[in-house]
Every structure is written in C-alpha cells, then in structure tokens.
Amino acid sequence: MSPSATPAKITAEAIRAMKARGEKIAALTAYDFPMARLLDEAGIPLLLVGDSVGMVVLGYPDTTHVTLAEMEHHVRAAARAKPRALLAADLPYRSYETVESAVASARRLVAAGAEAVKAEGGRAILDQVRAIVSAGIPFIGHLGMLPQHVLEEGGYHIKGKQDEERESLLADAEALASAGAFAIVLELVTSAAAVEVTRRIRIPTIGIGAGPDCDGQILVSHDLLGLWPWYNLKHVKPKLNAAEQMRAAARQWKLELSK
C-alpha cells in the first residue's frame, strides 16, 4: 500500500475473517464523535455504540432505561467521525420483541449511521435475527450475562458454571451462527464455557469477563481509560487514571484563575 493510499473500510465480513487468520479482535465502546475518532485513530477495528451509554453517560442505574431514540442520538454522534472501523450499535431493551419491531429498530439505527446491530439472546430471538440478516443488516449476537435482563435475574451473574448452562450456551451460539450472525459477544461466561463455544462455532467470539481465549475482547472504553472510577471491575485493568487527571486539571485551572 502506498503512503497516500486510504486503508480499506472494515466490514462485518472482515471482522469475521479475523478468526480464520487467528487475529485477535479488539473492540471498544464509543458513544460520541471524539471517542469514536480517537479510538479509530488508534486502529480499533470494531466500535460499539453500546446501550451501556445509559449507565456511563446518561446516569441510569442499568441498561433497561435506554430508549431507541437515545441510541439513535449517540449513533449519529459516533458516525459523524466517519470511522474506518465497523460501527455497530445495540438494539435497546424491548426494541426487538417481535420480528417487525426488530427489523424496524435495526433500520432506524442503520439510518442513524450504524453498520451492524447487536441484540441479546439466542434461540429465543432467532426469528428476529433471521429477519434482520435478511434485511441486509449485519448482526452480532450476545450471550451469557444479558444486561437487559439484570432486573429479572437479580443482578450480574457468571454463566456456564453448570453443565446445563454450558449446553444451552453452545446451542444458542450454534443457532445464532446458523441464523447469520457474524460474531457473538460472550459476557460473564466461565473461561471453560467460552473456550468450548469459541472452538465449536465458525464465527468469532468476543469476550467481556469471559477469560482470555475468545477470538477477541470488548470493553467499555470508560472502564479501560479510568473514566468510571466509582466501580472496580474484576475483568478490567484500566490503562489510564483519566478521571483523576481530569480532576487535577480542573483543580489546577481553578487555582490559576485566582492568581
């Protein structure tokens, strides 16, 4: 490639092909223009406008409060960065309960600038997944701990500890792959279960709190950068203490005003 050549846009198929090459997939969340641009400039190939925006940006207690309109707003902001990365977006809580609503919601996110959508669940949402894929919209699955179900499950729990759970995860992953998903996020899944799923299916697994052996990893950028200092997560080791740096900069500026 010549120095002036523009790198090729990353597609869903390009992300899927990374598994066959043994290339680890790095994915991070981006909810606005500057974060999307910065992470894209860092070479992150997959950016997710996650419904985690509800907690880390909007101050909600969990993701069940996030609306489709709020997701559209943040997708538009991130899309304005025109990233080379594939820009995916979460279908929020109760926006894909039927086939019709799933396709309509996915199309709204695509119209806002998303290039793929993600939804939580396996065999329970297969009809919705098939319809989204049939509409020409790339789809990412999400198995294990499902944050949109946190209230009914009474918190965040690691999945795959029991044989029955592992078998269910495998069945869901195989069903999603057969339905046309190009990747699957595994959240809070035991390392053993994540390894088994990763070996069994042909599409990439992208872990979060699921051990080191998935085909890739995804993190909430605020956790990675130390921008969410009020909670300590076992699966994240922040690479910065950006929150304290921001506090220090603000304090210094305030002091300088009175000199």
Residues with active-site annotation: 187
C-alpha to C-alpha distance for 93 and 125, rounded to whole angstroms: 13
* Whether 207 contacts 217, CB under 8 Å: yes
Q: CA-to-CA distance for 39 and 28, rounded, in angstroms?
A: 8
Rg (CA), the chain: 19
State the maximum Cα–Cα separation within the chain, in Å, rounded to a whole number. 66
Write b or e for each residue in 94-104: b if 16 or more Cβ atoms lie within 10 A of its Cβ, otherwise e: ebbeebeebbe
**How many CA atoms, within 13 angstroms, populate the side-chain half-sphere of residue 46?**
33
